[in-house]
Amino acid sequence: MSMSAADFTLYALTAAILYVIGLYGMAVRRNMVRTVIGLEIITAGINLNFLAFTILDSDLLLLAQYFVVISIVIGAAVATLALMIVIQAYRHYGSVDLRKLSKLRW
């Protein structure tokens, strides 16, 4: 199955929407775990964007795959550290509600 410019638009648009959904989720949700999930959605959007461009030009595919794999690994590291901090916050406050964290003003 060959892909066209229309497919590219679809994928790139989905990537942009994922980015916005992630930011929106982090802006409106006050749960620390959901904030971390928001970060992961943004990462997924960007990884998709790398791959979307390979539809237009298959020469890009080799490096794009390499970028995406490493980006997934880095995303996992960030999520691990973020969740570690969430656990510590839970031990202090008994809650993962950002509103309980007095100094945090977003």
Partner 1 sequence: MSESWIILQPIAILFAGALLMQVIEPVGRALKIEKLRDAFAIAIFGLSLYSLLGIYGEVQTQGQITYFLSPYEPPIGVSFAVDQFSIFMAFVFCLLGLLVSIYSVRYMEGDTGLDKYYSLLMSLVAGLVGVSFAGDLFNLFIFWEAMSLSSYALVAFKKYRWEPIEASFKYLVMSTIGSLTALYAMSILYGLAGTLNITDLASIIPTLEPYPLYLVIIAIIAGFGVTASIVPFHFWLPDAHPAAPSGISAMLSGVVIKAGVYAIVRVLFSIFDPAAFSFGTALVLFGIITLSVANVMALLQRDIKRLLAFSSIVNIGYIIFGFGVGAYALNVYGMGGYSIAALAMMGAIFHIFNHAIGKGLLFLGAGNFIHEAGTRDLMELEGVGKKMPLTGTSFSIGLLALAGVPPLSGFWSKLFIILAGYTVLSDSFMIVTTSIVVLNAIFAAAYYLWLMQRLMLKAPKPRVEHAHEGRGLLSMVLPVVIMSLITVVIGLWPFEIINFADLAARSLLGLVGG
Binds partner 1 by CB under 8 A, chosen from 20, 69, 76, 81: 81
Q: In this structure, are residues 31 and 98 in contact, taking their beta carbons and an 8 Å threshold?
A: yes
Contact 66, 51 (CB under 8 A): no
Identified binder of partner 1 from the candidate list 3, 10, 21, 101, rule CB under 8 A:
101
Minimum gap (Å) between residue 2 Cβ and partner 1: 19
C-alpha distances in Å from residue 30, one per residue of 5, 8, 20, 94, 99: 39, 34, 17, 15, 7
Residues that bind partner 1 (CB under 8 A): 19, 23, 26, 32, 35, 39, 42-43, 45-46, 49-50, 52-53, 56-57, 59-60, 62-64, 66-67, 70-71, 74, 77-78, 81-82, 85-86, 88-89, 92-93, 101-106
